[in-house]
Amino acid sequence: MAIIETKNLTYTYPGATKPSIVDVSIKVEKGEFVLITGPSGCGKTTLCRTFNGLVPHFYQGELKGEISVAGIDTLKHHTYEMAKHVGLVFQNPENQLFALSIEKDVAFGLENVGVPREEMRRKVDWALNQTGIYDIRERSPHEISGGQQQRVAIASVLAMEPEVIVLDEPTSFLDPLSAEKIFEVIYKLNQEQGITVILVEHRLDLTAKYTNHLIVMDRGIVRLEGDPRQILSNEETRLIGVGIPKATLLYQMLKKEGLNLGDKTPLSSEELAGQLLEALGHP
């Protein structure tokens, strides 16, 4: 069974004249690494807010169609009930952190749902270890770097052991190396723990290599969905205004000039470099 399934989902914010998402029907299988992209205002953030019920419970407005997440109809259940199943990580970690120590921040969600002390200890330590911040757990979340703060935000949702983690441009404020490390942490959780990841990103140069399910949205509509290699080599994707990774773009440019690098569209510099070494390395 799909972990997330929507059918003809259409949502309008209160007071808005037109819907932000229109007729969205998607299916996400357990363990997938989904990347949602598309031009500003295409509805990607709004769609993510439906996954834990923030839309419509918090934002109000009008939601039509069907949605089920981890087997639960989010329309009939509160956001706090969804928190056990879906964790949300936002762009700016500062907005999400508030406790006196990192450890307390990570434990907060568990305290709220009344997890016994022993079990809480175990889950918090696990989440701190998974995100590589165990050693700094006693420090204040406000005196650490932005990259570390975003790890705390991820650890906080991870401690709840959700089936799905939704991340909305989680590295925008981070320097490139810290961003790369965050994506590696997320990828590891996906690969080793089998957690379903939904990542919203503009910057495919950094993220295309992790995904196995790409969703391209435009003006509230899902325009393309499926295999990232196929979608990123589709001319329509570029015309929608999606920033194609440079490695993928270079592969296409070379192909047009008659340089055959094989059928596999590369999603990363490693893949393209490998293909080029293969094609040009044996004169």
Decide: is 174 part of the binding site for another protein (CB under 8 A).
yes
State in angstroms the smallest separation of the CB of 108 from another protein: 24
State in angstroms the smallest separation of the CB of 145 from another protein: 5
Site for another protein in 177-196 (CB under 8 A): 177-180
Decide: is 38 part of the binding site for another protein (CB under 8 A).
yes
Buried b (16+ CB within 10 A) or exposed e, 135-169: ebbebebeebebbbbbbbbbbbbbbbebbbbbbbb
Q: Which of 64, 142, 246, 264 lies at the binding interface for another protein (CB under 8 A)? A: 246
- Of residues 31 and 39, the one with the C-beta less far from another protein: 39
> x/- string (CB under 8 A) for another protein, residues 195-234?
-------xx-x-----------------------------
Site for another protein in 87-116 (CB under 8 A): 91
Phi first, then psi: give them for residue 88, nearest 5 degrees: -110, 130
Nearest alpha-carbon partner for 74 in 2, 4, 168, 163: 4
Decide: is 239 part of the binding site for another protein (CB under 8 A).
no
Decide: is 175 part of the binding site for another protein (CB under 8 A).
yes
- Please classify residue 108 by burial: count the beta carbons closer than 10 Å to its beta carbon, then call 0-12 exposed, 13-18 middle and 19+ buried: middle
Asked whether the beta carbons of 231 and 265 are under 8 A apart, the reply is: no
State in angstroms the smallest separation of the CB of 137 from another protein: 20
Q: Which stretch binds another protein (CB under 8 A): 58-66, 159-167, 176-184, 188-196?
A: 176-184
Q: Is the link from the previous residue into 56 a cis peptide, with omega within 30 of 0?
A: yes
Decide: is 62 part of the binding site for another protein (CB under 8 A).
no
Number of residues located near another protein, criterion CB under 8 A: 44
Decide: is 140 part of the binding site for another protein (CB under 8 A).
no
SS3 readout for 113-158: CCCCHHHHHHHHHHHHHHCCCHHHCCCCCCCCCHHHHHHHHHHHHH
Binding site for another protein (CB under 8 A): 38-41, 45, 91, 145-147, 169, 172-180, 202-203, 205, 241-243, 245-247, 249-250, 253-254, 257, 259, 269-270, 272-273, 276-277, 279-281, 283
